[in-house]
Amino acid sequence: MKKILQDHSFGELSELVAAAGEKPFRAKQLFEGLMQGKALSAIPVSPALKERLLEEYEDEPVKIYKTFVSEDGTKKYLFLLADGNIVEGVLMKYKYGNTQCVSTQVGCRMGCKFCASTLGGRVRDLTAGEILGQILTVNRAEGGNLKERAVTNVVLMGSGEPFDNYDNVVKFLRLVTAEGGIRISARNISLSTCGLVPEMRRFAKEGIPLNLTVSLHAVTDEERQRTMPIAKKYKIAEILDACAYYFEKTGRRYIFEYSLIAGENSDEAHALALAALLKGKPCHVNLIRLNEVEERELKATSEKDAYRFLGVLEKQGISATLRRSMGSDIAGACGQLRAKFIR
Ligand code: SAH
């Protein structure tokens, strides 16, 4: 596989261009073209520079391979990477803007029992430029540019565990927020983790005040271990401590994802226990009814029970929302589309 130009910051590109004996304005041209989501061959730099770069670098490291459009306007993408791997992403349209969900790894090795992304394990990590490339190509395909962006918000909730690919993800975050690029502010970015405690603590010190989201899905360590193998390594108490530390360092409240699974984590007793666990903490709970995955046994909680669960949390003074599932007619849940495609 050739190298990926989108992995580089503007400063790094400038060095590259200088080393090729080209004038500094070429670096700006190159950077702007890349951030506009163009293929290297379509960027108007000098033919000599282009030829030289194309020998070493991928022309288009992330291509939109297929687009699926849902009845509710949600779009799902399959991206083709240079080595033939496929990852998926979603663009959800809201009143305030468009949120793109990106993947951070091909597959995942966390093994959560309800998730389709982890079915075939982890194939490989994505580079920073491959994560960024998903956004740049979609922004371009949707008619956006660097001023009028079609992608305004980003969630790292596609395939992969972001903190299992820490360095590339942090580099991606610096690129996507950088001046002169697509400039999505950290406040408009959410990173979801299954709760890798050391990385959560490390990330608190990076100076990237994004919305930290933790997949909790259970109220006791024993129950969490049933659906999330990572719970054997890190206790809920350690996760809550790491969240408190994140708040201390960034001033940002944190979010818990709680997928409601019938007969597993969604009784009234669970709601009360969850409220007790989170009472007084600067956090928000996002409830979602499980997206049923073909290869998995687990079933979604009924809508009625989901609203009851929400009601208990609210009565206990916990800030919570029950999110509607978007794009379920086009396999919106994590890894479902890729799994289907590979099948
Ligand atoms: N690895 C990260 C991000 C991945 S997925 C993490 O674990 O947080 C984003 C969210 O979708 C996570 O909260 C994940 O637990 C949840 N999820 C995965 N499969 C799901 C399913 N079938 N139904 C509902 N939520 C699911």
DSSP 151-170: --EEEE-SSS-GGGGHHHHH
Cβ atoms of residues 99 and 277 within 8 Å: no
User: Which DSSP helix (H) or strand (E) runs through 290?
Assistant: none
Mean pLDDT of 146-165: 97
Q: What pLDDT shows up at residue 331?
A: 60
Is 290 or 333 the better-scoring residue by pLDDT? 290
User: Encoding tokens for residue 152?
Assistant: 């305004």
Cβ atoms of residues 167 and 127 within 8 Å: no
Is pLDDT above 60 for 334?
Answer: no
Question: Tens of pLDDT along 273-287?
Answer: 999 999 999 999 999
Residues in the chain: 343
Best residue among 117, 126, 194, 215 to mutate for probing ligand 1's pocket (most ligand atoms within 8 Å of CB) is 215
Q: What pLDDT shows up at residue 340?
A: 62
Q: What's the CA gap between 179 and 126, in Å, rounded? A: 23
Q: What pLDDT shows up at residue 164?
A: 98
Mean pLDDT score of the chain? 94
Tell me which residue has tokens 């075939």.
120
Is pLDDT above 60 for 343?
Answer: no
Q: What pLDDT shows up at residue 181?
A: 96
Which residue owns the Cα nearest ligand 1 atom 8?
Answer: 193
For residue 190, which of 213, 209, 207, 174 has the smallest C-alpha distance?
A: 213
Range with the lowest mean pLDDT among 108-122, 250-264, 315-329? Answer: 315-329
Q: What's the CA gap between 342 and 243, in Å, rounded? A: 36
Q: How confident is the model at residue 324 (pLDDT cuts 50, 70, 90)?
A: confident
Q: What's the CA gap between 249 and 240, in Å, rounded? A: 14
Q: What's the CA gap between 319 and 316, in Å, rounded? A: 9
Q: What is the pairing mode between strands 254-260 and 283-289?
A: parallel
Instruction: Give the active site residues.
Output: 88, 334
Is pLDDT above 70 for 314?
Answer: yes
Cβ atoms of residues 109 and 122 within 8 Å: yes
Cβ atoms of residues 88 and 134 within 8 Å: no
User: Encoding tokens for residue 74?
Assistant: 């949600």
Q: What pLDDT shows up at residue 296?
A: 80
Q: Any idea where the domains of the chain sit in the sequence?
A: 5-56, 62-342
Helix intervals (H) in 8-157: 10-19, 25-35, 47-56, 128-141
How many angstroms is it from 160 CA to the middle of ligand 1?
9
Which of the 8 DSSP states describes residue 85? -
How many angstroms is it from 216 CA to the middle of ligand 1?
10
Q: Find the radius of gyration of the CA atoms of the chain.
A: 21
Separate counts of helices (H) and strands (E) for the chain: 11, 12
Is pLDDT above 70 for 224?
Answer: yes
How many angstroms is it from 334 CA to the middle of ligand 1?
6
Which residue owns the Cα nearest ligand 1 atom 20?
Answer: 115
Range with the lowest mean pLDDT among 73-87, 198-212, 289-303? Answer: 289-303
User: Encoding tokens for residue 248?
Assistant: 């201390």
Q: How confident is the model at residue 95 (pLDDT cuts 50, 70, 90)?
A: confident
Task: Please report, rounded to a whole number, the percentage of residues in the chain having pLDDT higher than 90.
Answer: 89
Question: Tens of pLDDT along 17-39?
Answer: 999 999 999 999 999 999 999 99
Best residue among 99, 122, 203, 257 to mutate for probing ligand 1's pocket (most ligand atoms within 8 Å of CB) is 257
How would you classify residue 280: left for phi > 0, otherwise alpha for psi between -120 and 50, otherwise beta?
Answer: left
Q: Ligand 1: residues within 6 Å at CB?
A: 112, 114-115, 157, 161, 192-194, 215, 257, 259, 288, 290-291, 293, 333-334
Q: Which CATH class is domain 62-342?
A: alpha beta
Range with the lowest mean pLDDT among 169-173, 290-294, 328-332? Answer: 328-332
Which residue owns the Cα nearest ligand 1 atom 17?
Answer: 115
Task: Please report, rounded to a whole number, the percentage of residues in the chain having pLDDT higher than 70.
Answer: 94
For residue 62, which of 98, 92, 33, 34 has the smallest C-alpha distance?
A: 34
Residue 69: CB partners within 8 Å, gap ≥ 6?
Answer: 75, 76, 330
Is pLDDT above 90 for 152?
Answer: yes
Question: Tens of pLDDT along 37-82?
Answer: 999 999 999 999 999 999 999 999 999 999 999 888 899 999 999 9
- What pTM value is reported for the model? 0.96
Whether 5-56 shares its CATH topology with 62-342 is answered: no
Q: What pLDDT shows up at residue 1?
A: 85
User: Which DSSP helix (H) or strand (E) runs through 129?
Assistant: helix 128-141
Q: What's the CA gap between 208 and 185, in Å, rounded? A: 9
- Out of 1.10.1200, 3.30.310, 1.10.3470, 1.10.150, the CATH code matching 5-56 is 1.10.150
Helix (H, G, I), strand (E, B) or coil at 341: helix
Q: How confident is the model at residue 333 (pLDDT cuts 50, 70, 90)?
A: low
Is pLDDT above 80 for 196?
Answer: yes
How many angstroms is it from 257 CA to the middle of ligand 1?
8
